Amino acid sequence: MKPAILCLQPLAPARQAQLESTYEVHGPDADLASVGARIAAVVTDGHKGLTADQIARLPDLALVASGSAGLEGIDRAALAARGIPLTNPAPALADEVADVAMMLLLAGWKQLPALDAHVRSGAWGQAEFPLGRALAGRTLGILGLGTIGTAVARRAEAFGLRIAYHSRHPKPVPHAYEPTLASLAGRSDILLVIVPGGPETKGMVNREVLDALGPEGLLVNVARGSVVDEPALIEALTAGRLGGAALDVMWNEPRPDPRLLACPNLIVTPHVGSATQDTRDAMSRMVLDNLAAHFAGRPLVSPV
């Protein structure tokens, strides 16, 4: 008999077909009163989530496999209370998100939109663009030196950036550790945000942190919009207390606050950190790999 899976968020089409050929798959409209007792694993993501109430209705649940790196909608405390493992595909998307982070970092530091506008407007024919700032020798502060943060650090070092970081605990890495986020921002020219969303990190990049980064500093966020206090960011950019921001994520996606979009020295992209066909397929494949490992009694591929 095939193991029963509750699939709350479909995988990439080809991988979803594999899921449905391998397992007994029940969709998000499944009647848990009738099938819940048979569900052995759940496929979901940070947006569709998995609530404590749903978990309670799945007595044989033994694995939750997230199709996204973000886990904010999944009740991890309820899973931990029952010892149910959780996986996500962070290794599959780390390089893609790191590439987007570096794209935003370079575009923000080198003022790419302003350079483009200078040429298109005809202003180049009247005067040269003001001199910019070199990148090499600056300090990149990374908030969250996990799988993705480490991938960014490797790329940043190739550009001659010094790396510092803040996380819950120091890591065995050759980078400077800062015990607080404010102290990290204070020593950084560029602050990269790459921590999970959710209540624990909501608004942690606040006015104090933005002021520590300062009027010459650049904020880059490829994590979740909730991690940054957006009203404080709008105020800091508008008042010139922060040099600039480059954001792939923000509040109220996909309809950002018009006040944010009106800010000077702002670059925004539409949450495209992992948005390539190759990466999305790899993420879905990792969900299948985690399921296969679990049901074969092998170690999970990417446990959280």
- Write out the catalytic residue numbers: 224, 253, 271
10 Å CB burial of residue 200 (0-12, 13-18, 19+) is exposed
**Separation between Cα atoms, residue 129 and residue 191, nearest integer Å:** 25
Find all residues with CB under 8 Å of 265, minimum gap 6, and list them.
108, 111, 237, 243, 244, 245
The string of DSSP codes covering 256-277 is: --HHHHT-SSEEE--S-TT-SH
The span from the CA of 95 to the CA of 111, in Å, is: 24
CA distance 266 to 228: 14
Of 189, 256, 246, 242, give the one whose Cα is nearest residue 220. Answer: 246
Residues with Cβ within 8 Å of 185's Cβ and at least 6 positions away in sequence, in order, are: 141, 191, 209, 210, 212, 213, 217
CA distances from 247 to 56, 90, 92, 100, 187 (A): 37, 20, 22, 10, 21
What are the start-end ranges of the H helices in the chain? 13-22, 32-35, 52-56, 76-82, 90-109, 112-120, 147-158, 181-187, 207-213, 230-239, 258-261, 277-295
Per DSSP, the three-state class of 97 is helix
